[in-house]
Structure 1
Amino acid sequence: MKSKIFRMIMATTMVTTMLLGTLTGCTAKDGGTEASGSTSDSADRPDTWIADRTITIQAYVDDIGYSLPEDFSETPVGQEIKRLTGIDVEVQYTPGAKDSEVLASQLAAGTIPDVVVTYLNNSSRPEFTLLLKAAKEGLFADVSEYMKESKVYSKYYEEGYLPNDTYKNITFRDDLDGAYIMQLSIPAVDRSLEFNPQEEYVGGMYIQKSIVEALGINPAAIRTQEQFYDLLVDIKNGGFKDKNGNDVYPLGPKYWGGSKDTLDYIVRGYNWGVSDGYNIDQDGNIKHEVETDYVYKKIDFVRKLLAEDLMNPEFFTMDSTRAAEVSEIGNSAIIADVHNYQEIVYETGEWVPLGPLNDYTGDNAKVVNGKSGYGAWAISSEAENPEEIFAFFDFLSTREGKLLGNYGIEGEHYDMVDGKPVVKPEILEHINNGDSEWLINNVGASFGGTGVVLWEFIMTDIDWLEEFGESRPGAGSGGGFEGAIEIATKYPYKEKLIPGLDATAYLSADSLMEVKAQMSLLDYDEMLVQAMYAASEKEVKDIVEGFRKQIQQAGLEEFRAYLEEIYKEDSSSLNFYPIN
């Protein structure tokens, strides 16, 4: 959601290299030489002072690149960071087809500056393969000694603090002789099983409130595939019309356009391959869903809906403009996928969540995987005085750094009330209006990603509710999202913890490079859709059997054997959940 916002607002001002921060006077790179215009009397320096220098960051995250100020040194936050730490920050962003491709080319060329910052939610991401190779080739500095004495990153050594994947596969790997890659946005406490209406995106199927009232149903009570089918039939027989007087389709496409991922909601009861297509059966056998009967249950259910005119025939193919239109005029009685922070939902009050349907185990709880990170950073082995760079990143994740980076300056952009920051009304107005450009250039803080994304992105040890009393700046002050929060409050969902990564994350293993290349040519959901629109049952079978052969030829048995070893060593490494 954030990415789309920033692309729209900032793309027209983007240049090949965006710089955040300019030198104040002639700052020194080594941190030991006083610069023109700097504070020369050490007695006047605050306790947070690090060094009088510039730190250059290369970012490989488009949201960061699209939200840089025109001149960061002129923003209040930039000036305050300089006063507190002595640091000027220069951020470079080079756009490309993919940020990971830019990262790959620059690492290969050895052209990285002091620090690299990239997206990285787990070790299966393509960015991690690049970072690991760079670490092994000596491009990054070992920061383990700095971590031990740091205020925040020292927590990474505490048992159980880091997610399993972060600890074993990213930061403290057995095949590295130190700590080279720091994963970011680690939650201070695992709150993944806590439901907080302020920060919940309630996504999935939504139904017109007027139809709910006309049929006298409880939309949250629709739990099974059979109940869902019966509801669609009742809608069709109810003679409901859209705003143009046309018959509604009981089930319409995703609000943002036809998509295969809506299968996660409309045939949830038949989704056996919970780990990106894979799962483990009651006998301990790892299988892909296509090897089970669930593949036909999914196909048959959707074919029945299409045959009985219970879903829009363009459900999977409609473009985004028309999909939004059929939703907004009410031609879809049920939108297959939207969420409570979409204007059509929280501004109109005309839609309410449906279900969610039970999964194949008979449970409708949302699966969460526990703690996880969001980004990563590493210091170049060529950077001067890397301990100063590490200290700066550590400062940004202290309470003082988080307040400055996310809220701006006390008394100017927020006030402290009972120990918690409260955004000033004039700032809250810009946040609620989505005025990102003003927040970026006139304040320089992140405000939960509405302003300068860099600051929020490179923080860690996150617990916004505990530290600041709200899930994002301004969330506790009301504003434009009351409708979204009301929906989350009225329609809470259960959560269940299933730790581990999706099975396909492990295709990144060196021994599976050829298997991964072959598997990448296969698209299971696309095969399902083709079968759903097949002209005959024979054609359905031919399509399914053809895919079964293809996945075998791609190396399914080799991949299965690898997963079995992973699961045997640590069952929490894979997010499988068979029926108990």
Structure 2
Amino acid sequence: MKVNRLKVFWIVLLAATMSMTAAGCGGPAKGQPEAALDPESPPVLSELTYWVQIVSQVSATMKSYNEIEAYKELESLTGVKVDFQHPPQGQQATEQFNLMMTSDKLPDVIEYSWAGYPGGPEKAIKDGKIIKLNDLIDQHAPNFKKVLEEHPEWKKEIMTDDGSIYVFPLLRTDDRLKVFLGPTIRQDWLDKLGLSMPTTIDEWYNVLKAFKEQDPNGNGKADEIPLYLTKGDVDTTTAFLGAWGINAGFYQEEGQVKYGPTDPRFKEFLTLMNQWYKEGLLDQDFATTDEKMLEAKITGGQIGSAILYTGSGIGKYGTLMKDKDPNFRLVAAPYPVMNKGDKQIWGYKDYAFNGIGAAITTSNKNPIETVKWLDYGYSEEGTLLFNFGKEGVSYTMEDGKPKFKPEVLNDPSGLPVIQSMSKHNRATFSGPFMLDIRFDEQYTTEPDQLESKIIWAEPTMEKKMPRTTPTQAESSRYASIMTDINTYKDEMYLKFVMGAEPLDQFDKYVKTIESMGLAEALEIQQNALERYGKR
């Protein structure tokens, strides 16, 4: 009978630990925990409390993460029984977190976006809520330590400005795992009109003009909407604004923080958007169109291009339109550049660390053993477990590669694949492990969806601000300033594009934003960037 490879992993480690203990002279040194003798020994704790918000794909079929096959297997391997504490979803989770932080008795592990703690993770450590992990990782987490040594850029992402590592994170190990949103276009419309995929702003204009005038949906009506951009949120236009080398917020250029919406190039962008709006190339109702209305317009064969997600965009509409319009094909488009050959800089590519991580609290009585338990997620065996589930149950190894069983990808009871997979692994949502591209290559099954991740991963993002951590005082002041600036900026964006405000008022708009405290906000961002650079 085949022995489970994960159990072999733990047996080997246990044997190594016993050998080292037997070879030692009389046991551990005075004051040293016996568990600390061997960094690679299996965890010795038996129970763990773990606070984490449950995601919808799990709650649809299960009550707790304990029911996920990966955690059943992990308990079998380690002997650690985890009491998952799941707060209500949405805003209630934030409220429960804030209330929980007022207590001196916390769960052993809290998985959260610690930037949401007042003052950030550094303040959470100083307040005595969570512990600094540097030494524990160095001594007791060989797998995670190796990952951070091989990827120092990831290490900076999970550190505070004073150098404290505070979480075991989800790490997205491939650029294709960091993209999920981007420009899409009707490939069947391009084919029908004999047009090539647009790559520059001018080419986009010509394509949108053709969509508007040449009846690509073939219904004899001039009802096509060439381009849809989300209402009120300037940042969704990054797909086009990026061609000017700026974004719709703060960015950095050679270590200097800048603000896109007051740059003269932003006026050039607004001028173009205003022109496109006047010519009917932009959705005339974009300021009031919601998700439901957008779906109706796409399934009604009106939208030619839009900024959409891989799954809930390309995948969703491909499925919805399969029977209604067999020719329908929505595909990813490259981020536009100004001139042929220009480098794509801006897109929606995120960092390896998504900001959510598992922190060990000061209430934890077994931090060493907990670190060892969490470290397993960064081993080869742990990566397989959290990405694919239990070998033989949800996947098999073929030619040295994990392959999901057919019943996981096509659940016999009709469950959506995201729910079917979530019964076995954590790869469809965040957690303390390394996300494997081999998972995504099987989870994202449609060729056009897979191709979108390659296309959207192209931008360098070299000007993107890193995940900085402002101090508590900075955070409070920054929020106060930017709440007013963002409200005004978004209002003026709509007015400029729709023609309610002439573009010769742009300088006045810039001065108004500056009067709201932009210089101070820039200084806060600059200080945070410089601290990040010293990590």
Query: Residue 434 of structure 1: which of 413, 416, 440 is its match?
Result: 416
- The answer as to whether partners of 1:268 and 1:357 remain within 8 angstroms in 2 is yes
Hey, what does 1:556 align to over in structure 2? 518
* Among 424, 430, 441, the residue aligned to 1:445: 424
Structure 2: how far apart are the matches of 1:167 and 1:359?
35
Establish whether residue 247 from structure 1 lines up as the match of residue 222 from structure 2. yes
The one-letter amino acid of 1:457's match is G
**What is the aligned counterpart of 2:207 among 224, 231, 249?**
231
Contact 1:407–1:413 (8 Å) recurs in 2 = yes
**What corresponds to 1:343 in structure 2?**
316
Report the secondary structure of 2:439's partner residue. Answer: coil
- Of 506, 514, 517, 2:477 maps to 514
Match of 2:184 among 206, 231, 248: 206
The DSSP-based 3-state class of the residue aligned with 2:407 is helix
For residues 354-433 of structure 1, the aligned pairs below 5 Å read 354-358=333-337, 362-364=342-344, 371-430=352-411, 433=415
Q: CA deviation at 1:280?
A: 4.5
- Picking from 311, 323, 334, the partner of 2:294 is 323
1:498 to 444, 458, 462: 462
Match of 1:83 in 2: 76
The aligned amino acid for 1:113 is P
Deviation at 1:128, TM superposition (A): 7.4
| Cα distance change, pair 257–428 in 1 and its aligned pair in 2 (3 A) | farther
SS in 1 for 2:335: coil
Out of 132, 139, 163, the residue aligned to residue 154 of structure 2 is 163
Q: 1:115 to 1:303 in 2, by over 3 A?
A: same
| Shift in CA distance, 572/548, structure 1 to aligned 2, threshold 3 Å | farther
TM-score computed with the length of structure 1 as normaliser: 0.70
CA distance in 2, matches of 1:78, 1:248: 52
SS at match of 2:237: helix
Structure 1 residues 259 and 202: CA distance shift in structure 2, 3 A = same
CA contact under 8 A between 1:369 and 1:500: conserved in structure 2? no
Per-residue Cα deviation, 1:290-320 (whole angstroms, up to 9, x for no partner): 4332232122212212222222210232122
* Correspondence for 1:19: none
Does the CA-based 8 Å contact 2:189-2:217 persist in structure 1? no
CA distance in 1, matches of 2:394, 2:406: 9
Q: Kindly state the Cα deviation for residue 163 of structure 1 after the two structures are TM-superposed.
A: 2.6
**Structure 1 residue 350 displacement after superposition:** 2.2
Question: How many pairs were matched up?
Answer: 481
Alpha-carbon distance between aligned partners in 1 of 2:447 and 2:202, rounded to the nearest angstrom: 34
Q: CA offset at residue 357 of structure 1?
A: 0.9
Determine the structure 2 residue equivalent to 1:17: none
Deviations 1:468-495 (A, max 9, x none): xx133844xxx85244235667x67634
Pairwise CA distance, 1:403:
2.6
Q: Which residue of 2 aligns with 1:30?
A: none
Alpha-carbon distance in structure 1 between the residues aligned to 2:256 and 2:389: 54
Distance 1:130 1:257 in 2: 31
1-side partners of 2:69 and 2:439: how far apart?
23
Which aligned pairs between 1:91-106 and structure 2 lie closer than 5 A?
Answer: 91-95=84-88, 96-97=90-91, 99-106=93-100
Deviation of the 1:85 alpha carbon? 0.8
Deviations, residues 499-535 of structure 1 (Å, cap 9, x unaligned): 76259x5665634632431222222344211222233
Q: Closer, same or farther in 2 for the Cα pair 1:394/1:510, shift >3 Å?
A: same
Per-residue deviation, 1:118: 0.8
Deviation for aligned residue 1:57? 0.6
Task: Name the structure 1 match of 2:280.
Answer: 309
Confirm or deny: 8 A CA contact 1:55 1:90 kept in the other structure. Answer: yes
Matched-pair contact (CA < 8 Å) for 2:276–2:282: yes
Mapped partners of 2:475, 2:318: distance in 1 = 44
Once residues 210 and 142 of structure 1 are traced to their aligned partners in structure 2, the CA distance between those partners, rounded to angstroms, is 54
Against the structure 1 CA distance between its residues 204 and 406, is the aligned structure 2 distance closer, same or farther, given a 3 Å change threshold? closer
Q: Secondary structure at the match of 2:353?
A: coil
Aligned-CA RMSD value: 3.9
Q: Partners of 1:291 and 1:410 in 2: how far apart?
A: 54
The residue type equivalent to 1:231 in the other structure is V
How far did residue 226 of structure 1 move?
A: 2.7
Compared with structure 1, are the counterparts of its residues 66 and 420 closer, same or farther at alpha carbon in structure 2 (3 Å cutoff)?
A: same
Equivalent AA in structure 2 for residue 50 of structure 1: P
- The 8 Å contact of residues 55 and 114 in structure 1, kept in 2 or not, is answered as yes
Contact preservation (8 Å) 1:507, 1:513: no
Query: Which runs of 5 or more residues in structure 2 are unaligned?
Result: 1-39
1:128-175 alpha-carbon deviations (Å, 9 max, x no partner): 7343323112222444443223232333663753536336526xx35x
Greater length-normalized contact order (CA 8 Å, ≥ 6 residues apart): 2
Superimposed CA distance per residue, residues 361-380 of structure 1 (whole angstroms, 9 cap, x where no aligned partner): 94335555764354222222
Question: 1:376-404, CA deviations, whole angstroms, 9 ceiling, x for partnerless residues?
Answer: 22222222222222221112332223333
Q: Determine whether 1:532 maps to 2:497.
A: yes
Match of residue 464, structure 1, among 427, 436, 448: 436
Paired residue for 2:171? 186
Q: In structure 1, what is the equivalent of residue 243 of structure 2?
A: 269
The code of the aligned residue for 2:416 comes to G
TM-score, scaled to structure 2: 0.76
> Which of 151-160 and 420-429 deviates more?
151-160
Structure 2 distance, partners of 1:342, 1:251, is 20
Describe the SS at the equivalent of 1:139.
coil
Deviations 1:433-487 (A, max 9, x none): 52555655xxx422622xxx4xx6121xx2624xxxx133844xxx852442356
Give the corresponding residue for 1:138: 128
Answer yes or no: is the 8 Å Cα contact 2:140–2:368 preserved in 1.
no
Q: Which amino acid aligns with 2:108?
A: D
How far, CA to CA, are the matches of 1:200 and 1:107 in structure 2? Answer: 31
1:334 maps to a residue whose letter is S
Distance 1:364 1:150, change over 3 A: closer
Bigger helix fraction: 2
